[in-house]
């Protein structure tokens, strides 16, 4: 999902029920590709016990690695 000047751009694979709920909240929607490549997330976090966890968005070539 991407907000472009008040219009939410959603990936085509988002369920219709989700789209309808967003519309009922007053959002204007536009549908993009199945795997919309503009937004991309790479993230890491440390849990309470100090374990590091990583994740990579499958839309890009990123990877979560540890050593």
Q: Which domain holds residue 29?
A: 2-56
Is residue 64 included in any domain, yes or no? no
**How high is the pLDDT of residue 15?**
92
Which class for 21: exposed (0-12), middle (13-18), buried (19 or more C-beta within 10 A)? exposed
pLDDT tens digit sequence for 2-44: 555 678 888 888 899 999 999 999 999 988 776 666 667 889 9
66 assigned to some structural domain: no
User: Which pLDDT score is estimated for 49?
Assistant: 97
Total domain count, the chain:
1
Q: Identify whether 63 is part of a domain.
A: no
Does residue 15 lie in a domain region? Answer: yes
Q: Report if residue 25 sits inside a domain.
A: yes
Are residues 22 and 29 in contact, defined by beta-carbon separation less than 8 angstroms?
A: yes
pLDDT (mean) for 40-58: 90
């Amino acid at each position: 999902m991407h907000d472009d000047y008040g219009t939410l751009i959603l990936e085509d694979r988002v369920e219709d029920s989700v789209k309808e709920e967003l519309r009922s909240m007053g959002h204007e929607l536009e549908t993009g590709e199945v795997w919309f490549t503009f937004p991309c997330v790479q993230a890491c976090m440390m849990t309470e016990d100090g374990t590091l966890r990583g994740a990579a968005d499958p839309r890009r070539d990123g990877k979560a690695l540890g050593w």
